Chain A
Amino acid sequence: MSIGNGEDHSIKKVPTGIAGLDEITDGGLPFGRPTLVCGGPGSGKTLLGTSFLVNGIVRYDEPAVLMSFEENAAELTQDVASLGFNLGKLIDDKKLVVDYVHIDRSEIEETGEYDLEGLFVRLEHSINLVGARRIVLDTIESLFSGLADQSILRAELRRLFRWLRDRNLTVVVTGEKGESTLTRYGLEEYITDVVIQLDHRVLDQISTRRLRIVKYRGSPHGTNEYPFLIDDSGLSVLPVTSLTLRHEAASDRVSTGLPKLDQMLGGEGYYRGSTVLITGTAGTGKTTLAAHFADAAARRGERCLYFLFEESPSQMLRNMRAAGIDLAPAVDAGLLTFHADRPSRYGLETHLVMMHRAVQECRPTVVIVDPMTNLLTIGTQLDVRAMLTRMVDYLKMKGITALFTSLTAGVDLQTTDAMISSLMDTWIFTALEERERRLRRFIYVLKSRGMPHSDEMREFRITGNGLDIGALEVAGNRGRRHARRDV
């Protein structure tokens, strides 16, 4: 016997294949045990269960049985088709059994003792038919409204879960949320290993889905509420990465795309995997700076994912071409991917999940968010900060260099930038000033962690050949120096 409680500490896990969920559960659901998934109507219980099964079949070669108490096979097949699941094919391939169990109280009279052996026989038959390893019971609570004798039912449910455990089946049991309990009929009394709660809220007319691991016996797990998303590529949960805040700080550098700006940053540019913030008022050239960075990534043969929250990709490409930066070859080569969206279309968390997914699909080394300020308009400061923290953590974990542009308009300079600047490793400031009846642009590095950087304010111009950083502007000196100096 080992020291401690004598049990095997490492629980064998069964991956759900659901993006993010396996991370926050440290590997998936416990092998051979039931997991309770509870939530209100429309919270995504059935879809989570179905994803668990379909992923099990497709990715892990584990056949499955879905015992559905609410929808028949045809209805279910239709419901999950939008997630890209083809239940019909899995059924034809003898990998999945969908058994629709329906009881109608109105046609049933009860007299004397009975048990639910009929249900057991049926389930066993389905399990044997495909050699199932994964089971979903959705939602078994319907039995409570179908059967009058609750004491028999409760005893039989207890027997059922023991029966499933004895067969080492990994089971997801869904349950409808109760008034003040996790489930209406107290399923949590029987399923005590793992409880996952789903929630669907609409705030400010924007819908947000959240998932929380209420408990997971014998395993570390994330305890936060995690946003999740249901769309045409399935269900994905967005892990807050505090669990894995172990990203390694890289020491190699990536060029900003502008040799002069590289010089200002200790001569070599940004750290790979760092976060860069470029702030400035309208028309100071933030997008141009970002475009140079994207262009440089493509020239190195690296992939860049560019989130556009203000312009369309064609508009952005046209504008940059006019400024002498032709990004079309990078797009054609598949090295530059645009992801354009209106911030107001979704809630913050939905945006975040979509950005996550885009990053997962594109696998870039460089991510640009231009401008991130537009996201600030759709949430409270606290939300935005939490969201950006997650995003930044995630990108750092992946070693992705991220560049955010931020439009400052006087007042919110202190608030928004103070809010996010601590998340940023490098903060570059661009400004417009009117001097000698000419608008002039200036750039300076406000901070850049871990490197000696220039503290000079330099003038730059946006030319037909890209951004041209020029003369040194001595801080505090309003006069103009013509002497060009290299640092």
Chain B
Amino acid sequence: MPEEMFDLRLYVAGQTPKAVRAFANLRKICDEHLAGRYSIEVIDLLEDPMLGRGDQILAVPTLVRRLPAPIKKIIGDLSNTERVLVGLDLRPRLKGARG
């Protein structure tokens, strides 16, 4: 896999337990799988509701992979590492799928 930069955004609405959990889970996954090639921007919709429009954010927390393209969204507290990796295209989508 090429060493691309991951530009990530985590949308939350206030410092809720789910938001805190999501951020912790995300940091852990990134440090393990994307060490040195990721950036995380946390956006609190309570501070600027307009920022959620562009990315069509309804659910929180939502993680948006802005780069590499295409855009991917993962909603939830990111507690299932396998699914987050699949969502970020760091794991093949189907079990046993090649490549």
Asked if A109 lies at the interface with its beta carbon under 8 angstroms from chain B, I say yes
- Do residues B80 and A118 form an inter-chain contact, with CB atoms below 8 A? no
- Do residues A109 and B59 form an inter-chain contact, with CB atoms below 8 A? no
**B21, B60, B70, B79 interface centre (most CB from chain A within 10 Å):** B60
Query: What per-residue 1/0 map shows which CB atoms of A97-122 lie under 8 Å from chain B?
Result: 00101110001111111111111111
The CA-CA distance from A101 to B56 in the complex, in Å, is 7
Chain B residues whose CB sits within 8 angstroms of the CB of A116 once the complex forms = 58-60
The CA-CA distance from A286 to B93 in the complex, in Å, is 80
Is the contact region of chain A dominated by helix, strand, or loop, or is it mixed? mixed
In the complex, which of the residues A112, A117, A122, A124 contacts B53, with contact meaning CB atoms closer than 8 Å? A122
Closest to B14 in A: A117
Size class of the contact patch on chain B: 35 or more
Interface size on A, residues (CB 8 A): 24
- Do residues B60 and A117 form an inter-chain contact, with CB atoms below 8 A? yes
The CA-CA distance from A461 to B24 in the complex, in Å, is 99
The CA-CA distance from A109 to B13 in the complex, in Å, is 19
Distance in Å: Cβ of A115 to nearest Cβ of chain B? 6
Distance in Å: Cβ of A353 to nearest Cβ of chain B? 39
**A103, A122, A143 interface centre (most CB from chain B within 10 Å):** A122
The CA-CA distance from A143 to B58 in the complex, in Å, is 10
- Do residues B18 and A114 form an inter-chain contact, with CB atoms below 8 A? yes
- Do residues B87 and A109 form an inter-chain contact, with CB atoms below 8 A? yes
The CA-CA distance from A118 to B49 in the complex, in Å, is 8
Chain A residues whose CB sits within 8 angstroms of the CB of B58 once the complex forms = 101, 103, 116, 118-119, 122, 143
Count A-B pairs with CB separation below 8 Å. Answer: 97
Distance in Å: Cβ of B6 to nearest Cβ of chain A? 15
- Do residues A118 and B79 form an inter-chain contact, with CB atoms below 8 A? no
- Do residues A107 and B72 form an inter-chain contact, with CB atoms below 8 A? yes
Distance in Å: Cβ of B83 to nearest Cβ of chain A? 4
- Do residues A109 and B83 form an inter-chain contact, with CB atoms below 8 A? yes
The CA-CA distance from A115 to B21 in the complex, in Å, is 14
Distance in Å: Cβ of A450 to nearest Cβ of chain B? 66
Query: What per-residue 1/0 map shows which CB atoms of B52-96 lie under 8 Å from chain A?
Result: 110011111110000000111111111110011011000000000
- Do residues A112 and B77 form an inter-chain contact, with CB atoms below 8 A? yes
Q: A113-B18, A114-B18, A114-B61 are in contact. Are A108 and B52 (CB under 8 A)?
A: no
Closest to B59 in A: A114
- Do residues B46 and A147 form an inter-chain contact, with CB atoms below 8 A? no
Q: A103-B58, A113-B18 are in contact. Are A124 and B79 (CB under 8 A)?
A: no
List 6 other contacts, CB 8 Å, given A111-B78, A117-B45, A122-B49.
A109-B87, A113-B76, A114-B59, A114-B76, A116-B58, A116-B60
Residues of B within 8 A of A (CB): 11, 13-14, 16, 18, 21-22, 25, 45-46, 49-50, 52-53, 56-62, 70-80, 83-84, 86-87
Residues of A within 8 A of B (CB): 99, 101-103, 107-122, 124-125, 143, 147
A to B CB contacts below 8 Å, 26 in the list: A103-B58, A107-B72, A107-B73, A108-B73, A108-B74, A109-B74, A109-B83, A109-B87, A111-B79, A111-B84, A112-B22, A112-B78, A114-B18, A114-B77, A115-B60, A117-B14, A117-B59, A118-B52, A118-B57, A118-B58, A118-B60, A118-B62, A119-B59, A120-B13, A122-B45, A147-B59
